[in-house]
Structure formats: C-alpha cells, structure tokens
C-alpha cells in the first residue's frame, strides 16, 4: 500500500510544481538544468522508496508512476478542460513577423529564444521571415516560415 501511495504523492507533487513553474522550465536544457534534473530525481527517489529496498517495492513504484501516466492520458482525451489544466494549450507568440511581447513576457521567452529556434530548425535569420512561431505544450518553439 505504501509504495503506491508514495509513488502517487510524488507524481502529483511534481505535476503541480512543474505545471506552476511553466513549460519552459526544463525544455531547453542548459548544463545547470541538467544538474537540477539529477538532483530532483535523487530527492524524489528517497521519498518514493523510503527504507524498503525490495524489488517488489521498486516495481510497484514504477508501476504506479506509469499507471498514473496512462490514466492521465485517457483523462486528457475525455476532457478538454483536464487537458487545458494539465498540459496547457499551444500559444502563438509570433504572427506574420510581429512578436506578441505581452504573451512572450508571461511565458518567460524573449526574441532571442525565438530567433534561436528559427535558426536551428529552419535556418532563418530574422523575425520578418517567420510566419508563425508557436510555443508548444512540450515547451519547445516551433517555427513556420513565410
């Protein structure tokens, strides 16, 4: 029982923290973000495993996490409101070469991030060449050239 409840508690906690932190938090990882990810996994490991080092406990925790993931993917399919709350919606941040500064500010993105994505994915060099830039729910920026 404790393995399932511990796993579920950590899953929900992380879901809330990363939803509040915003989708850009670990989307494009710097070296420090990578270290942060490792520290977070270490910290949550203790919370989930406790002092029970049995194979059964580990298996149950993994099963709980994967099970919740499958369950939530179904919930998102059934209910659009749940999808909105859990994943958010893709947001247009550049339209016809004009950046939407207010939305970008709220999403913690500046023009340099958009131009970086434009260079890396489409080989574009200026804002004018972008038809649409969209902040996806995964945290990445997709670029549609003119």
Residue 15 or 66 with smaller CB distance to another protein: 66
Neighbours of 61 (CB within 10 A): 23
Among 20, 38, 39, 70, interactor with another protein by CB under 8 A: 70
Which residue stretch of 19-27, 56-64, 101-109, 119-127 sits at the interface with another protein (rule: CB under 8 A)? Answer: 56-64
Among 10, 11, 48, 60, interactor with another protein by CB under 8 A: 60
Q: What is the full DSSP assignment across 37-99?
A: HHHHHHHHHHHHHTT---HHHHHHHHHHHHHHHHHHHHHHHH-HHHHHHHH---EEEEETTEE
The nearest distance, CB 75 to another protein, in angstroms, is 13
State yes or no: residue 63 binds another protein (CB under 8 A): yes
State yes or no: residue 67 binds another protein (CB under 8 A): yes
State yes or no: residue 78 binds another protein (CB under 8 A): no
Alpha carbon 64 to chain centroid, angstroms: 20
Residue 2 or 80 with smaller CB distance to another protein: 2
Residues 131, 145 contacting (CB under 8 angstroms): yes
Q: What residues contact residue 19 under an 8 Å CB cut-off, 6+ apart? A: 85, 86, 88
User: Which residues form the interface with another protein (CB under 8 A)?
Assistant: 1-5, 51-57, 60, 63-64, 66-67, 70
């Amino acid at each position: 029982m404790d393995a399932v409840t511990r796993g579920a508690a950590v899953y929900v906690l992380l879901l809330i923290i990363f939803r509040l932190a915003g989708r850009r938090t670990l989307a494009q990882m710097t070296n420090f973000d990578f270290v942060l990810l490792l520290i977070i996994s270490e910290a949550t490991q203790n919370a989930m495993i406790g002092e029970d080092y049995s194979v059964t406990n580990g298996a149950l925790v993994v099963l709980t996490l994967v099970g919740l993931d499958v369950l939530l993917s179904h919930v998102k399919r059934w209910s659009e409101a749940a999808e909105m709350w859990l994943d958010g919606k893709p947001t247009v941040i550049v339209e016809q070469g004009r950046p939407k500064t207010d939305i970008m500010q709220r999403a913690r993105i500046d023009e340099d991030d958009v131009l970086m994505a434009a260079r890396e994915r489409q080989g574009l060099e200026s804002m004018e060449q972008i038809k649409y830039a969209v902040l996806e729910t995964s945290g990445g920026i997709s670029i549609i050239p003119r």
